[in-house]
């Protein structure tokens, strides 16, 4: 399993592009201003000091930048791991309502999903609660074979217009009027 993850990571690095390889102004701007923004001007929450690994710290900072830029009013967090996602989204979107399950008649602006199983069924549940500006963030798409299969199905879904594969995170957008495209970016 660990060896397969390393192989998947190397394949991703080999085929992924930097922001300069994208032909989408939206994706270029997102990559330039959020994904690759490592400026020291950003003030991250104090809870980041509790994060033990360098990778987890980089992902936490990226999640914080994504949430800060997106400023969702209704955030869905489904997190099976012991990651500090709740604190990240609370700090980044202070006025947002945070939910931990899909609720009827509630529109979702931003969702963070970190689960090992049933990713596709969760996506199907969430999809009917999205709008044109919704961002879904999936963590661990390469963790298990079924997660990889589900990620491929999500990318093919007709409602999805833009996906950005960052290997550790997958971003899904539903922007109407855009040509369907899947991007892989190096982080």
3-state secondary structure 40-68: CCCCCCHHHHHCCCHHHHHHHHHHHHHHH
Q: Which residue has the higher pLDDT, 60 or 117?
A: 60
Is residue 82 pLDDT above 70, yes or no? no
Q: Which residue has the higher pLDDT, 50 or 62?
A: 62
Is residue 53 pLDDT above 90, yes or no? no
Mean pLDDT, range 163-169, rounded to an integer: 95
- As given in the structure block, the two tokens for residue 129 are 């609660």
Position 187 scores a pLDDT of: 81
Question: Assign residue 39 a region: left if phi > 0, alpha if psi is -120 to 50, beta otherwise?
Answer: beta
Is residue 84 pLDDT above 80, yes or no? no
Position 47 scores a pLDDT of: 67
Band the pLDDT of 55: cuts 50, 70, 90: low
Is residue 116 pLDDT above 90, yes or no? no
Mean pLDDT, range 48-66, rounded to an integer: 80
CATH number of residue 27's parent domain: 3.40.50.150
Is residue 29 pLDDT above 80, yes or no? yes
In angstroms, what is the C-alpha Rg of the chain? 16
Instruction: For 46-81, give one letter per residue: b (16+ CB within 10 A) or e.
Output: eebeebeeeebeebbbbbbbbbbebebebbbbbeee
Q: Which residues contact 131 (CB under 8 A, 6 or more apart)?
A: 107, 109, 174
The model carries a pTM of: 0.90
- As given in the structure block, the two tokens for residue 87 are 């604190």
- As given in the structure block, the two tokens for residue 103 are 């609720």
- The residue assigned the tokens 């710290």 is 57
Per-residue pLDDT tens for 2-15?
Answer: 888 899 999 998 98
Position 138 scores a pLDDT of: 94
Mean pLDDT, range 94-105, rounded to an integer: 89
Mean pLDDT, range 55-70, rounded to an integer: 88
Q: How far apart are CA 176 and CA 36, in angstroms?
A: 26
- State the residue range of the domain holding 147: 2-184
Number of structural domains found in the chain: 1
Position 51 scores a pLDDT of: 72
Is residue 1 pLDDT above 70, yes or no? no
Mean pLDDT, range 133-139, rounded to an integer: 95
């Amino acid at each position: 399993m660990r060896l397969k993850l390393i192989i998947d990571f190397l394949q991703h690095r080999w085929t992924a592009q930097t922001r300069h390889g994208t032909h989408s102004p939206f994706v270029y701007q997102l990559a330039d201003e959020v994904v690759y923004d490592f400026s020291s001007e950003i003030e991250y929450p104090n809870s980041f000091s509790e994060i033990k690994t360098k990778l987890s710290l980089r992902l936490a900072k990226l999640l914080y930048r994504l949430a800060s830029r997106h400023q969702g009013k209704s955030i869905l967090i489904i997190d099976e791991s012991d990651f500090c996602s709740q604190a990240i989204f609370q700090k980044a979107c202070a006025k947002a309502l945070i939910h931990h399950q899909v609720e009827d008649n509630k529109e979702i602006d931003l969702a963070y999903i970190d689960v090992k199983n049933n990713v596709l069924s969760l996506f199907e549940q969430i999809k009917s609660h999205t709008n044109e500006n919704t961002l879904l963030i999936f963590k661990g798409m390469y963790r298990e074979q079924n997660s990889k299969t589900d990620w491929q199905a999500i990318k093919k879904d007709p409602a999805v217009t833009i996906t950005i594969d960052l290997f550790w995170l997958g971003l899904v957008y539903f922007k109407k009027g855009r040509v369907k495209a899947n991007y892989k970016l190096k982080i």
